[in-house]
């Protein structure tokens, strides 16, 4: 998103203004800064996958997502109990 924002903003200025030119140059730099690390990461992932490590990559991804799901369940349950424990009884609530 940050790499396309200057380009979108540049469209609101005339093409011969200094602001337009500065935003276009910012867009070029932001695109390179964004795409270079992404390209390196994708090259690393593709090279790992072409070596035959499909199972380990998917297993690692499953473990990471399982831990995230467990955190959602545990923390959500715990916070809900804390949040709901301080509610007044239904008789004390104002009418809707």
In this prediction, residue 12 has a pLDDT band, given cuts at 50, 70 and 90, of: confident
Residue 5, CA atoms < 13 Å, CB-side half-sphere: 5
pTM for this entry: 0.42
Phi-psi region of 14 (alpha: psi -120 to 50; beta: other; left: phi over 0): beta
pLDDT of 44 above 80: yes
| Alpha-carbon torsion angle 73, 79, 81, 83, nearest 10 | -150
In this prediction, residue 81 has a pLDDT band, given cuts at 50, 70 and 90, of: confident
């Amino acid at each position: 998103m940050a790499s396309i924002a200057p380009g979108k903003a540049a469209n609101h200025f005339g093409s011969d203004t200094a602001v337009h030119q500065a935003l276009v140059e910012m867009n070029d730099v932001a695109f390179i800064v964004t795409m270079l690390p992404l390209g390196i990461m994708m090259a690393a992932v593709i090279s790992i996958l072409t070596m035959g490590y499909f199972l380990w990559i998917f297993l690692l991804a499953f473990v990471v997502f399982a831990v995230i799901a467990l955190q959602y369940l545990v923390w959500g349950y715990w916070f809900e109990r804390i949040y709901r424990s301080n509610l007044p009884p239904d008789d004390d609530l104002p009418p809707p």
